[in-house]
Structure 1
Amino acid sequence: MNHNVNKKFPFYAAVGISLLLVGCNPGTQSNNLSNSNANSTNKLPTVVATHSVLCDLAKLIAQNTINLTCLIQPGVDVHVYKPTPQDRKAIEKAQLILYGGYNFEPELIKIINASNQAATKVAVHEVAVPKPLMEEDNHHEESEKSAKHEIVPNPHIWHNAQNGIRMVEVIREQLTKLSPVNFNVYAANAHQLSDKLKQLDAWTKAQINTIPLKQRKLVTTHESLNYYANAYGLTIEGALQGLSTEEKPTALRVKELVTEIKNTGVPTIFTEATGNDKVIRTVAKEAKVKVAEQGLFVDSLGTPGSQGDTYIGMLTSNTCTITTGLGGKCSAFLGNTLNK
């Protein structure tokens, strides 16, 4: 299965700042961002973010100016997440709700849409990328005759750092509407974060360019890296599942994927840091290819202390894992600190 859509995304101008060396263990991120003089958390605006990438970006931009509740914790599979009573209460109390959209977190989206609360509800993925990649979401059955093929938006937009910049701008704009007094704080933090993502985008392209051309092929657990592949010059050769991990791979799909791997000469396939990797490892064994040592952070940030426990860390770790797995060399990311 080949996805080779080339799109150019404009990015926001950002301020130049001092350099910081970040290697392939990028879990640490500078916290030296602009803060307001907020004292009482009881008087701060209440914001809910559904998944960990949105939560990380909101924290970096808002700092101590909001009461932020993050619903789906790092390391949890977003696609199959079941909301808790606490989630419902947080949604009902929020003044601003930041969620992904494009059916990324389906059960939470149902609750958010059904809520009568007067909160501002923003589907960040949909606003940031109004023209998403449209993919054939294959619901594999034991025979092609009974397979269902549906064209739907791919929700995993943040794997392209340029889209990350767009997400930063959407969040900054919404926070400013919620708390205009902190306009300067949000503008400064968003500019610094966007600048770092711009540098990360260029660094990622440089790492992928070290992979031999014939080996720039990806096979993953589910179709979550299409934006990454399109932005950085890779081809998606196959995936065990469709756009959601909720789909259960069949024996037919396993057999098909083994054949695809053998036919395309993919040197390494990649598991995910969240979820069960038993089936994809079975595929690798039958296809006689390697499995990358480090799982990719795709639907969620990593748990605290892991390589992918921030958005920047997620993208940096994934790039190093993919680059080295496909025969390239991953150098250190020369990022920048976020100064006051």
Structure 2
Amino acid sequence: MPIQSTRSIAKFKANKGIKISAIATLMAIVASINACSITTSSQPPKPQSPIATNPSENLPSNLPSNLPLVVATNTVTCDLTRQIAGSTIALKCLIEAGTDPHLYQPKPEDRKAIDSAKLILYGGYDFEPNLIKLIKASSNNAPKVAVNELAVTNPLLAEAGDDHSKAKDVKPENRKLEKETDPHIWHNAQNGIKIAQAISKSLSNLRPEEADTYARNTAKVVNELDQIDTWIKDQIATIPPSNRKLVTTHDALGYYAKAYGIPVEGALNGISTEEQPTPTRVKELVDEIKSSQVPTIFAEVSINPKLISAVAKEANVKVAEREIYADGLGSKGSEAETYTGMLVSNTRTIVEGLGGKYKPFQLK
């Protein structure tokens, strides 16, 4: 056999071996991550302590007892409630920043607060499933308001458990086309306005004497969100058209994509982070990234970044230096500690990651 042919065969075998090794590494990462908890919130709940029969005894000790207790489940709902209500209520927020609401396990004190509250505000659309079960099971007759469901009555739908039916490790012809509601409605600033209005109405029903205060504060929130909505559109327009594509850890940016003209090309997980990516899904995402020529993919604050980093390496693209806040707000002191700050932070991350020209938001 000619020497050159022998070398070609050897080179082919070497390249094939490298490719198989890379895929095997990805599969090992999938297995290790799926075997572990993504966040500390997925740990089993501790045994619940007995609950006092006197409602006043259940009121969290750090909240004023002379004001009505309002419980808000997730960070977006909590922040908007705080902005609108101010010091007129005792506000108890259940899910901390940086915690995955899809996986959150209620604590004994959460149950106490829910059973004592005069108003319970939660996202709905199965966004915080374990808390929703607890809320619906509570014997408390206080209003229980799914603010996201009130705000958006015709939500986006995606195929259950995946991103565009590709997460399940089965052949395409055997995939069930079941639909699941996308609960991440707040990534569209206009939906945020509707959430604020739903919260304001619930607060006014609770404390009619403060209705004027709630109306004024809601108007401020609406004004800022209107300006942010316009600003986001202007920022996305600076990204080169060929780069306007999103690949993320899980499929949480559908409302952002639709509102601001930047389609989601792929995601490792589906609507909920409870669904873990299969080896088939990982390989498909690598192929999608290569074919769509996405320059940058994005990790999320509350989800283990190892797998998305491995996918990026295999697809020969970079992971953005900044992370996306997909399931809630950032911790105190971060640029995403408020709802409006989160919208601005995510837009900056996307614009800078995809080659746009970021200009800081200025409230007029």
TM-score (norm 2): 0.80
Contact 1:273 1:294 in 2 (8 A): no
Name the aligned partner's letter for residue 293 of structure 1. Answer: E
Number of the residue aligned with 1:164: 192
Q: Distance in 2 between matches of 1:241 and 1:228?
A: 17
C-alpha contact 1:75 1:274 (8 A) present in aligned 2: yes
CA contact (8 A) 2:161 2:272 kept: no
Alignment partners' CA distance in 2, 1:138 and 1:84: 26
The residue correspondences of 1:1-340 to structure 2 (distance < 5 A) are 41-138=64-161, 140-144=167-171, 147-336=175-364
User: Are 1:75 and 1:303, in contact at CA under 8 Å, matched by a contact in 2?
Assistant: yes
Contact 1:138-1:147 within 8 A present in 2 as well: no
Match of residue 32 from structure 2: none
Q: Report percent identity of matched pairs.
A: 54
Deviations 1:47-67 (A, max 9, x none): 000000000000000000000
What is the letter of the counterpart of residue 174 of structure 1? S
- Which structure is higher in strand share? 1
What's the CA shift for 1:141?
Answer: 3.7
CA RMSD of the aligned region, Å?
A: 1.2
* Structure with bigger gyration radius: 2
Say how many residue pairs are matched: 297
- Partners in 2 of 1:138 and 1:244 — Cα distance? 7
Letter in 1 for 2:82: K
When normalised by structure 1's length, the TM-score is 0.85
Any idea what the Cα deviations from partners look like across 1:149-193, whole Å, max 9, x if unmatched? 420110000000000000010000000000011011101000011
Provide the residue aligned with 1:30 in structure 2: none
Residue by residue over 1:75-101, the C-alpha shift from the partner in whole angstroms, topping out at 9 and shown as x without a partner, is: 101100000111100000011000000
Partner residue of 2:35? none
Amino acid aligned to 1:168: A
Higher relative contact order (CA 8 A, sep 6+): 1
Q: Report Cα offsets for 1:102-128 as digits up to 9, x if no partner.
A: 000000000111111111000011000
SS of 2:150 mapped into structure 1:
helix
Gaps of 5+ in 2: 1-62
The one-letter amino acid of 1:299's match is D
Unpaired runs of 5+ residues, structure 1, are 1-39
